[in-house]
Structure 1
Amino acid sequence: MRSFLFILLFVCSLFSCKSPRQSGGYNLGFEDIYQDSAIGWKGYTLNDSTVYTAKLDSRIFRSGDYSASIAFEGGKPQFSTWARFITKKYAGDSITFSGFIKTENVTDGYAGLWMRIDPYIAFDNMHKRGAKGTTDWTEYRITLPLDPEKTDKIVLGGMLVGKGKMWLDDLKISIDGKDISELQPMVTAPAEDDREFDRGSLVTINDSDSSTIHTLYQLGLVWGYLKYRHPNVIKGDYNWDYELFRVLPELLKAQAGKRDDILLNWIDTLGKVPKATKRAVTDSISIQPDLSWIKQSGFSANLQSVLLNLSKAEISTESQYYVSKGRASNVSIEHERPYMQMPFTDDGYRLLALYRYWNIIQYFFPYKNDIGTDWKAILKKYIPKFLSAKNELAYKLSLLELAGQIHDSHAFFDFDYAIHNFLGNRQFPVRLKFINNQPVVTGFSDETLAQKNDLQIGDIVVKINGKAVETIVNRLRAYTPASNNWTQLRDIAGSLVRTNDSILSVDIIRNGKQKQKMVSSYDPGTFQTPKEFSMLNIPYKWVENKVGYIDHGKLKTRDLAAVFEQFKEARGIIIDLRNYPSDYLIYTLPEFLLPELKPFVKILVPDIHNPGSFSFAAPFKTGNVRSDYYRGKVVLLIDETTQSSSEYHAMAYRAAPNCMVIGTPSAGADGNVSEIILPGYLKTRFSGIGIFYPDGSPTQRTGIIPDIIVRPTVQGIIAGRDEILEKAKEVILQ
């Protein structure tokens, strides 16, 4: 059965987000009724090969006159829910949702409460502690941490998974121990009170001719510019998503000569802009905002003047509504509604998703100039793609493809069931790695199942279900965001073993001969942990006489003194960075490797008060002034799995005086990430700060370049050799 978390993401994407209409309270006893429905609540039942009924019950209840019931009626057991939304915000550290549940013959699942704080803040559905069998009224509770500043809404209710029947009654909501009925909602920005288009944008775009595309292109540019530049939008006076839905129909209906007037009037209604002042020009600004589109997009002279005037207006240093400065000086994207209830046939919401993503990259992605394509051309190119993506999968794949255009391996999407289904819910039990541009079996997800299907280490996969691997790889490239080709192939290797078929025809090359095999696929949740994943968590060891080895993915700060005491007489130390760090060692480990403080990185950060501009901070230094530093050779091992923080650590260690890097180029995706929430409850990321060597050399897309390139071979894989590690030992001992 699929994870209940993603089941509920699916359920809630279909619920209305209407505010409660009853006076006082949240109808937690199901007593406020209109036409046999509990006001503010919605019962959701699956109809695809499953029958559940969710309705009020006036015969069985704990108090009052009604309870809410869910009953399984037949078909393949899945789940059904009662749910309601809380869109008001309350101050506090935690929220508790409690209530009484009665069950009858619940099997193949459970009955329970569930609560989720959106977007992606906290979730619990009691899947390990729900009620089973037949039980009398019993109280249950869920407590989650509360973060009102980041919360868009809270969704809660009861659910039945599997067979049987449940009743729900006498619910309570409390915050920090106080009943919600005794609390006053927080005062919020006007943008949060605008709920006019919660159930749909009411925007229909019938034409996709060149004139319409150009108009939508112009609007996307202006909409994003005003979002991050206009003082009253920045304050949160407007729900900027819904302002888009208000201006769109009028703009599309207008004759071409009148559209600039509509935009001018729209800007005028937003309120007075403080008198433009000349922005101070500083030498620290390395990238200036791109305002070329204002004069190049066919706007009237009057509209150009208004837009350019906005570029000169000072943006308050106070807190902004849509963006803030993150802990690492990257941008933090704020108050973006996830619109889980978004109808995927809604033209307005799909266009909103494109505009939202494109403008965040336009103004806050430090590597925008390294994309390799004019980012404005991408906006125009993707408008027709999003207009034609009229179902869920097409829409989500369009977003995934769009994210791939920034060439950033951080731009992956969090687990999404539609994309997951597209790639395949099942897997055949091997791990692949591209060697010489060919996918080679380098390990097993389940060794027993691999042997059962006669798959061996070193097998080269050349066809799957009769399709050449090259064809499949080319299809997957569009949906695999990556900084460069070698990192993209790394991620595609994981997708190649995924399928929705139970049995596949797989052509392999083994010992120079091509063979066709029928291979079974499996639910990955059934795989047994490979032996190598069960080894003791040992972060360092001797691998050769006088050669020490550190597994950077296991090393902790607390280990450092013991590591360098044990290896103080070593001829060399190998630090394996083909993993992700388990601790932050940027400044602590180099104290043992460097005799002095030394710069190792220069960081490019966005300026939220001048959107689109980026400045270099002073170079960061690592090391320490000490005479007892380690003087032997230091060798760093890297490959395409060395990404982000691991790359950052490699840069710091490379500052050591006797350091060498061996392997293949790293992933080329460095810098603290910023998150983006997109309509349809999708979350993605991008590298939020730029990472450069002190001399200004880039790392994004290029990665860390080894001093000695060593590429694994098929023969080495079959023999069980680590050829990169072998070369490191050779360099130290020669």
Structure 2
Amino acid sequence: MKYLSLILAQLLAFIVHAQNKQEIRNVEAFTKLYGYIRYFHPSDEAASLNWDKFAIYGISKVKNVTSDVELKKTLYELFKPIAPSIRIAKSPKFDIQTITPKDKNINKNIFWFHQGVGINNTGETYFSQRFNRKYTTEKESKGAQFFPISYDLDSKGLNGKFIKLVGKMKADVEDGSSGHFWLRVDKKNGMGFFNNMNNNPIVSNKWQNYSIEGKVDNDALNIYFGAFLAGKGKIWIDSIKIFKRSNNNENWSLLPVENADLKLKNAEGLPDKWFYNKKDNYSYSYYKDSIGPVIQIARVKPIDNSKIIDSIDYKNIPKPLSLYNAELVKGVNVIFPISVYGDASHTYPKGDSNAYNNLYNALIHVNVNNKTGDNLNVRFADIVITWNIFKHFFPYWQDASSDPISILHTAVVHAYNVKNSLDFEKTLMQLTASLNDGHIWVSYKGDTLNRWQLPISLTIVDDHIVVDKIFDSTFSDLQSGDVIEKINGIVAIQYLDRIMAEISGSKQWKQYRALNIFTNGAKQNPIVLKIDRMENPITMNRNMDSYTYYTRTKKAFKPSGEIKPGIFYLNLNTISKDTIDQWMPKLSTAKGIICDLRGYPNGNHNLINHLLTQKEDTKWMFIPKTTYPDQKNIEYLELGWNMDTTNPHINAKVIFLIDGRSISYAESYMGFIKDFKLATIIGQPTAGTNGDINPFNLPGGYTISWTGMMVKNHDGSKHHLLGILPDIYVNRSIDGIKQGKDEYLDKALDLLN
């Protein structure tokens, strides 16, 4: 019996392993086919589909099939209503006559054209459109974002007390859209309590009361609250009230908020005493509901500014009825047209309307709003969506650490094994880390716990993690220059490496980001640090939220101004364009100017015009253009800033300070300084990540940003990962940190002297 039990256990393990292997194979096949049809098959049916819903629905149908025969059958049944000419087999055959219309009036060549890729409708930089089909421009889609009504309440007398918002709302919104109440406390140095119901958005079409509870910070200045519509649809609000109490033993008491029931109208016919953020494509109005008049916030139908696209700047236009053959998994292949004929009413061949309607009705029941990463279908669907965007449109595969197929397999296996939303966020981070793109940022709106940290900034000195600055004067346990040897029992540099493994980008950028989140975690979870100068480890509590931490690090540098006679320091992270213009008479006659770009410019690249000696028109940004899958036949839209000289010209000796946190816009700025030799550059290499981002949202509440274009140096040489290299390298020292020195700035002053 003992041996029989062992044999049965081994047999069960084999069956489970085989089933998991087939399931992963099914998901990989669906993933590849999803991308081919979504982005490259130009049928009207495919263009009108809700692809987020289809990803979840399709995964639920395909993942549990038990053989390749069933896999091919299921894929065909799923995709035929939206790609009626698709062929799936081990060696599929295609009869071109099946997609050749007999009616000679059906003669328009229709195919997809992608400049980058259009995600979340369309834009000017990145867009996707079908040739010889209507294309909706960006103006129509910009309004569908955030539409609030708000109230400003003085926090006097409420500091340290508990408050509660109670509001009544119902909603009629599209999938992915929602209604929200929100409550925020603002402090002198940043934001205090904040909740906007992102974790429990309102999608119900029935009147319900909702509440938000929080504590007013002791140093609070104002309390803001209200409601908003996020996305498309309508919300109705009956009242928004605020209550207070000192402790849990007290009953809630109503605060005197003028016009809390929203019934009193102002001159515009809108609720008096409330504030609005008016945008195109939205409206505020009163609506006569069964419970009485209520305020309605709605997205109105935009003006039809669509147009037929019949001309594009692209050489390799596919011929009519061009076919594409691809392997989905070994032994399962697909053939489909990437260009079809059509007329003003429809693409040819027109699909089975009954089959499409059945699919449409099935997707109605897939509610994206209430899906989370706890659900395996959602996790797989998010891999499907994410992988295809990168597979077909990511511009830096030559610099990735892994190939697309390996990344897909690893991601599917990880998605299969993790069990909750937070762990899946890590899966998405691991999927994207190997792409080595510093603009990649994975965020999960449900992760509200791990947003606290110690009020310190860290740096690396000779492979030691060193405390740099301390942002809380009451925080006396640590000192600038302290070396962290261990964190929670783990060697500090090894802990840093773990964090860096989940971050995408160059080594210098990964290091900067990892140091910024080194002490991140839940507020209630203490941190145990071993410091070099202390015999025993110390236990510390996280007491600074991430938002406040960010604002404090941004203020860590010197203010701009004349720091020595004839020598100016410009903190380009904060100084405005207008201030530079005002100071220009003095700057143009200065002895020396130190420009600190260890961060992100504040829209002040007009300084470059005063440094240039001649007009330039170099092309250094390259947006991919294609109509073909798998990044074939890529062409580029070449762009630059086309900058000209501006008087007065700056004749001073100019020095720029840079390091690994200088990214994107900062590198566009520094590209001119470096390539046109406009100044001496001091510090460390910049992040090596530049170009406009193209973020997208995923079911389950995840968002991923990434770089949608290729950027080079002005001479055409490689910029990605390398960054802007300084003329003079500066390494920080522990002694310098202990003494509070800015060794980059000191080096610049030495050169000027």
| TM-score w.r.t. length of structure 2 | 0.58
User: In structure 2, what is the equivalent of residue 298 of structure 1?
Assistant: 330
Give the Å deviation of 1:416. 3.6
Which residue identity does 2:665 align to in structure 1? S
Q: Work out whether 1:507 is the aligned partner of 2:530.
A: yes
What whole-Å deviation, never above 9, does each CA across 1:227-267 have from its counterpart, x for those lacking one? 11122355214546336624753574253245335434544
User: In structure 2, what is the equivalent of residue 115 of structure 1?
Assistant: none
After TM superposition, list the pairs within 5 Å mapping 1:539-558 onto structure 2. 540-558=560-578
Report SS of the residue matched to 2:602: coil
User: In structure 2, what is the equivalent of residue 221 of structure 1?
Assistant: 32
For 2:496, which of 470, 473, 476 is the aligned residue?
Answer: 473
After TM superposition, list the pairs within 5 Å mapping 1:221-300 onto structure 2. 221-230=32-41, 231-237=43-49, 239=51, 241-242=53-54, 245-246=57-58, 249=61, 252-253=64-65, 255-264=67-76, 266-272=78-84, 294-295=326-327, 297-299=329-331
User: In structure 2, what is the equivalent of residue 378 of structure 1?
Assistant: 407
After TM superposition, list the pairs within 5 Å mapping 1:131-142 onto structure 2. none
For 2:484, which of 452, 458, 461 is the aligned residue?
Answer: 461
Report SS of the residue matched to 1:260: helix
User: In structure 1, what is the equivalent of residue 717 of structure 2?
Assistant: 697
Which residue identity does 2:456 align to in structure 1? V
For 1:491, which of 513, 521, 528 is the aligned residue?
Answer: 513
User: In structure 2, what is the equivalent of residue 367 of structure 1?
Assistant: 396
What whole-Å deviation, never above 9, does each CA across 1:657-688 have from its counterpart, x for those lacking one? 44222111112221111112112111121112
Question: Could you tell me whether the CA contact under 8 Å between 2:685 and 2:724 is conserved in 1?
Answer: yes
Which residue identity does 1:595 align to in structure 2? T
Which residue identity does 2:608 align to in structure 1? P
Which residue identity does 1:491 align to in structure 2? R
Question: Could you tell me whether the CA contact under 8 Å between 2:570 and 2:596 is conserved in 1?
Answer: yes
Give the 3 Å change call, closer, same or farther, for CA 509–556 of structure 1 in structure 2.
Answer: same
Question: Could you tell me whether the CA contact under 8 Å between 1:634 and 1:660 is conserved in 2?
Answer: yes
Report SS of the residue matched to 1:376: helix
Question: Could you tell me whether the CA contact under 8 Å between 1:338 and 1:682 is conserved in 2?
Answer: no
Give, in whole Å, the separation in 2 of the partners of 1:624 and 1:218: 52
Report SS of the residue matched to 2:326: helix
Give the Å deviation of 1:498. 3.1
Report SS of the residue matched to 2:485: strand
Stretch moving more, 705-714 or 688-697: 688-697
Q: Work out whether 1:446 is the aligned partner of 2:468.
A: no
Give, in whole Å, the separation in 1 of the partners of 2:706 and 2:549: 32
Which residue identity does 2:435 align to in structure 1? I
Ranked by relative contact order (alpha carbons within 8 Å, sequence separation 6 or more), the top structure is 2
Which residue identity does 1:216 align to in structure 2? V
After TM superposition, list the pairs within 5 Å mapping 1:703-718 onto structure 2. 703-718=723-738
Which residue identity does 1:376 align to in structure 2? I
What whole-Å deviation, never above 9, does each CA across 1:160-201 have from its counterpart, x for those lacking one? xxxxxxxxxxxxxxxxxxxxxxxxxxxxxxxxxxxxxxxxxx
Give, in whole Å, the separation in 1 of the partners of 2:616 and 2:424: 48
Q: Which runs of 5+ in 1 are unaligned?
A: 1-204, 321-334
Give the 3 Å change call, closer, same or farther, for CA 316–399 of structure 1 in structure 2.
Answer: farther
Report SS of the residue matched to 1:431: strand
User: In structure 1, what is the equivalent of residue 621 of structure 2?
Assistant: 603
Give, in whole Å, the separation in 2 of the partners of 1:313 and 1:406: 34
Which residue identity does 2:29 align to in structure 1? Q
Which residue identity does 2:481 align to in structure 1? G
What whole-Å deviation, never above 9, does each CA across 1:111-162 have from its counterpart, x for those lacking one? xxxxxxxxxxxxxxxxxxxxxxxxxxxxxxxxxxxxxxxxxxxxxxxxxxxx
For 2:650, which of 609, 630, 645 is the aligned residue?
Answer: 630
Which residue identity does 1:592 align to in structure 2? H
Give the Å deviation of 1:384. 1.4
Question: Could you tell me whether the CA contact under 8 Å between 2:567 and 2:590 is conserved in 1?
Answer: yes
Stretch moving more, 458-467 or 534-543: 534-543
User: In structure 2, what is the equivalent of residue 524 of structure 1?
Assistant: 544
Question: Could you tell me whether the CA contact under 8 Å between 2:401 and 2:434 is conserved in 1?
Answer: no
Which residue identity does 1:507 align to in structure 2? K
After TM superposition, list the pairs within 5 Å mapping 1:140-151 onto structure 2. none
What whole-Å deviation, never above 9, does each CA across 1:453-481 have from its counterpart, x for those lacking one? 2x1110010012332113322332343x2
Which residue identity does 2:28 align to in structure 1? Y
Give the 3 Å change call, closer, same or farther, for CA 660–619 of structure 1 in structure 2.
Answer: farther
Question: Could you tell me whether the CA contact under 8 Å between 1:445 and 1:528 is conserved in 2?
Answer: no
Identity %: 19
Which residue identity does 2:715 align to in structure 1? D
Give, in whole Å, the separation in 2 of the partners of 1:527 and 1:547: 34
Give, in whole Å, the separation in 1 of the partners of 2:343 and 2:578: 44
User: In structure 1, what is the equivalent of residue 705 of structure 2?
Assistant: 685
Question: Could you tell me whether the CA contact under 8 Å between 2:595 and 2:657 is conserved in 1?
Answer: yes
Question: Could you tell me whether the CA contact under 8 Å between 2:425 and 2:444 is conserved in 1?
Answer: no
For 1:434, which of 450, 455, 460 is the aligned residue?
Answer: 460
Give the Å deviation of 1:436. 2.4
Question: Could you tell me whether the CA contact under 8 Å between 2:45 and 2:83 is conserved in 1?
Answer: no
Give the Å deviation of 1:497. 2.1
Give, in whole Å, the separation in 2 of the partners of 1:714 and 1:346: 48
Report SS of the residue matched to 1:617: strand
Give, in whole Å, the separation in 2 of the partners of 1:581 and 1:316: 49
User: In structure 2, what is the equivalent of residue 660 of structure 1?
Assistant: 680
Which residue identity does 2:636 align to in structure 1? F
Question: Could you tell me whether the CA contact under 8 Å between 2:529 and 2:539 is conserved in 1?
Answer: yes
Q: Work out whether 1:649 is the aligned partner of 2:669.
A: yes
For 1:590, which of 583, 608, 616 is the aligned residue?
Answer: 608
Question: Could you tell me whether the CA contact under 8 Å between 2:373 and 2:379 is conserved in 1?
Answer: yes
What whole-Å deviation, never above 9, does each CA across 1:523-552 have from its counterpart, x for those lacking one? 315999999879899964223443322110
After TM superposition, list the pairs within 5 Å mapping 1:165-204 onto structure 2. none
Give, in whole Å, the separation in 1 of the partners of 2:464 and 2:562: 34
Report SS of the residue matched to 1:598: coil
Give the Å deviation of 1:618. 3.2
Report SS of the residue matched to 1:519: strand
Give, in whole Å, the separation in 1 of the partners of 2:556 and 2:495: 38
Give the Å deviation of 1:505. 3.4
Give, in whole Å, the separation in 2 of the partners of 1:662 and 1:507: 33
User: In structure 1, what is the equivalent of residue 206 of structure 2?
Assistant: none
Which residue identity does 1:223 align to in structure 2? Y
Question: Could you tell me whether the CA contact under 8 Å between 2:428 and 2:442 is conserved in 1?
Answer: no
Give, in whole Å, the separation in 2 of the partners of 1:436 and 1:317: 67
Question: Could you tell me whether the CA contact under 8 Å between 2:668 and 2:690 is conserved in 1?
Answer: yes
Question: Could you tell me whether the CA contact under 8 Å between 1:223 and 1:244 is conserved in 2?
Answer: no
What whole-Å deviation, never above 9, does each CA across 1:286-313 have from its counterpart, x for those lacking one? 9x9xx9992584245xx44x24xx3455
Give the 3 Å change call, closer, same or farther, for CA 436–255 of structure 1 in structure 2.
Answer: same
Q: Work out whether 1:562 is the aligned partner of 2:562.
A: no
Give, in whole Å, the separation in 2 of the partners of 1:594 and 1:217: 52
Give the 3 Å change call, closer, same or farther, for CA 605–592 of structure 1 in structure 2.
Answer: same
Report SS of the residue matched to 2:535: strand
Give, in whole Å, the separation in 2 of the partners of 1:435 and 1:397: 28
Give the 3 Å change call, closer, same or farther, for CA 475–543 of structure 1 in structure 2.
Answer: same
Which residue identity does 1:602 align to in structure 2? W
User: In structure 2, what is the equivalent of residue 391 of structure 1?
Assistant: 420
Q: Work out whether 1:403 is the aligned partner of 2:426.
A: no
Question: Could you tell me whether the CA contact under 8 Å between 2:411 and 2:428 is conserved in 1?
Answer: no
Report SS of the residue matched to 2:505: coil
What's the Cα RMSD here? 4.0
